[in-house]
Amino acid sequence: MIEVGCGDGRLTEGIASDAYEVFAFDPDPQAVADAQARLAAGLQQRVTFRVGSAREIDIPRTQYDIVVFSWSL
């Protein structure tokens, strides 16, 4: 699953609890740091965080089933 504009991670934990793997990113470095800090320890191995916008981020080449794009505009 890809989470575009993860912000401070308010949705990331719920997404990660239902997904095998999550690639979450946001252009705000502080928001990404906050998202990493708030993620439950048991879910950290499922989530990869990166800093960058949707235009510039290098999304790993793998198969994703769902893209979450919420409150990102």
> Per residue in 35-71, is it b (16+ CB within 10 Å) or e — as a string?
bbeebeeebeebbebeeeeeeebeeeeeeeeeebeee
pLDDT of residue 36: 97
**Terminus-to-terminus CA distance in the chain, angstroms?**
19
What's the CATH code of the domain at 38? 3.40.50.150
Say how far apart CA 12 and CA 27 lie, in whole Å. Answer: 15
Q: Considering its fold, how many domains does the chain have in total?
A: 1
pLDDT of residue 59: 84
Say how far apart CA 22 and CA 5 lie, in whole Å. Answer: 13
Chain segment 4-56, per-residue pLDDT in tens = 999 999 999 999 999 999 999 999 999 999 999 999 999 999 999 999 998 89
Structural domain harbouring 24: 2-69
What pTM does this model have?
0.89
